Amino acid sequence: MATIYEERYSYHPDDFKLYGTEKIRKEFLVEKLMEAGNIRLVYSLAERFIVGGAVPVNNALPLETIDPLKADYFCERRELGVINVAGAGSVVVDGVEYKMNFKDALYIGKGNKEVLFKSDDEKSPAHFYINSAPAHKEYPVKHVTMGDANVLHLGSLEFSNERDVNQLLINGVVETCQLQMGMTELKTGSVWNTMPPHLHSRRNEVYFYFDVPKEQAVCHFMGQPDETRHIWMQNEQAVISPSWSIHAAAGTSNYIFIWGMAGENLDYTDMDVIQPNELK
């Protein structure tokens, strides 16, 4: 077992305009998150957001602190959101075990010292998707199922963007300091997510794509509205979206993605919508 991490920096939009394909993928794409028997983390200086994945197989995986945090334990000054995107498992928080089925979410507040990830079946292990942000206050651990989510039905098949936005770890469902997470599921025949796209200058966002069929792909769009770029992505990959960047995608089939945000506020509707005919 190992905890593998890397650090990413913040980026100026003027510099981003000069990036080629290789540079964009290196800085913003998280290609490998789910690795059997390991925890993989990316620490981004954009809102000091951490994105990661844990795949326990034979043994439980402890969430250990990493050097950039300068902390005695991972949640000493941070809150944590976890969503299971594969086989059944559980998360143990300071001795209390929470059963995590497919698509279940768990909020873990600041101050919890021990976090363990476990799978029920090593032949069908859980894949725990992780988001974390700095926290100023302790809030209780809360288990959230899809049945507990606040669901927004958006878009239409006519415009290829019919989807359910499942708000899981969000204000009104669970108390958090700044972290918000949810899951958007596209209906069959729809491929566009977050269309029309938007900006929210007071939050950054990370998208994690999963349930992408084998041999299919998702094309993620980012950048300023008048200077967009794209990244082709595969199943169980994530992309970091700075506050000055749009975030939208189209797939070669329908798929599911998890959005995670952190920043100045908890107002989900705080966004500036960009119409499709304004994009360049």
The 3-state secondary structure of the chain, one letter per residue:
CEEEEEEECCCCHHHHCCCCHHHHHHHHEECCCCCECEEEEEEECCCCEEEEEEECCCCCEECCCCHHHCCCCHHHCEEEEEEECCCCEEEEECCEEEEECCCCEEEECCCCCCEEEEECCCCCCCCEEEEEEECCCCCCCEEECHHHCEEEEECCHHHCCCEEEEEEECCCCCCCCCCEEEEEEECCCCCEECCCCEECCCEEEEEEEECCCCCCCEEEEEEECCEEEEEEECCCEEEEECCCCCCEEEECCCCEEEEEEEECCCCCCCCEECCHHHCC
Per-residue pLDDT at 26 = 97
Tell me the pLDDT tens digit for each residue of 132-144: 999 999 999 999 9
- For residue 194, report the phi and psi dihedrals to the nearest 5 degrees: 50, 50
Nearest of 187, 143, 144 to residue 165 by alpha carbon: 187
* Per-residue pLDDT at 72 exceeds 80: yes
Q: What is the mean pLDDT of the segment spanning 201-221?
A: 95
Whole-structure pTM value: 0.97
Tell me the pLDDT tens digit for each residue of 215-272: 999 999 999 999 999 999 999 999 999 999 999 999 999 999 999 999 988 888 888 9
Report how far Cα 168 is from the mean position of its chain's Cα atoms.
12
The domains found in the chain, sorted by start residue, are 2-278 (2.60.120.10)
Q: What is the mean pLDDT of the segment spanning 75-95?
A: 98
